[in-house]
Amino acid sequence: MCGFVYPTPQGNFHREDPCWCPFITHASPHTCGILSALGNFLAQMIKKWKKEGCSQKPDVSGPVRYAIFGFFFTGPLSHYFYLLMERWIPPEVPLAAVKRLLLERLLFAPAFLCLFFVVMNFLEVGLCYSTWDSSSFGTGILNLASVGGIHSEAL
């Protein structure tokens, strides 16, 4: 069992347990990857269960995509964001919980959601089908009109 790791004021990390495992306790991408994949798999099973006559096999690529996103993005980004938030807004600050909540909900969550959609788009359809279209509405948006037989003229 690995010990809890926490930053000291000098910037280095202190370990409470002699069998310290820095990768597992520090970044936790394993947990995020496994939970993301399990969530997608369970969603597929619930959808299949609601359609009783459906003999469709579960899509393996869905949990793999979510595991990749959880392992490489959710775990490390969340971990380091919350470490930075501990330094920016220490618990001793008045209304620290409210300030942390607002920082997380107003800055981190929208950026993370955008990152989720961009990465999932790349993992689902690949880079060759997604294009950056700056002609739509005068701003740059991700154009997925060519995916699935939908043509830009129809939109």
Q: What residue spans define the domains of the chain?
A: 61-144
Residues in the chain: 155
Which amino acid makes up residue 117? F
- Note the pLDDT tens digit of each residue in 98-129: 999 999 999 999 999 999 999 999 998 875 55
Whole-number Å distance between alpha carbons of 34 and 31: 5
Q: Please check the confidence at residue 45 and state whether its pLDDT lies above 50.
A: yes
- Note the pLDDT tens digit of each residue in 1-34: 344 455 555 555 555 544 445 444 444 667 888 9
- Short-list 69, 79, 132, CA closest to 108: 79
Give strand pairing partners of 7.
13
The reported pTM is 0.63
